[in-house]
Amino acid sequence: MAKSKSKLNNLPKEVIAEELLKENPIGLPEAKAATIAIAVEMPRMETIMFRNDRDPGIPLTFHYASKTHPLHHYTLYHGQEHTLPVEVIEHLESCSIPLYAYRKGANGHPEMYCNGKKYSFTCKSVRKAA
């Protein structure tokens, strides 16, 4: 039978008051060391003009992370130029809202189906004239 660990809330109130402000109090598992994401290669960056078609004029704030891209917080402003990794641009351009409609089903009753998609964001590539 495994030995049960004492939990902080099962101890007397004097011990709780003393242990509460410690970094590693009695009864809690040991904290793991924080890991740092290290990018092996620099992602390809592109300058785009961002358009928020879902909420025009309102800045879009989000965070993005993947195996090749460490966690990063973004704030994109409608109608402004931003330099972003291609992976993030592709993700933004794939965000869509399904549009539903009705059609006559096999039994003659109307049924709902996905009629198409409305894309939420547009990222237009900015070409600088030489």
Percent of the chain with pLDDT over 90: 53
Task: Read off the pLDDT band of 1 (50, 70, 90).
Answer: very low
SS3 62: strand
* pTM score, whole prediction: 0.63
Task: Identify the CA nearest to 89 among candidates 57, 126, 40, 47.
Answer: 47
Mean pLDDT of the chain: 82
Mean pLDDT lowest for which of 22-36, 74-88, 103-117?
22-36
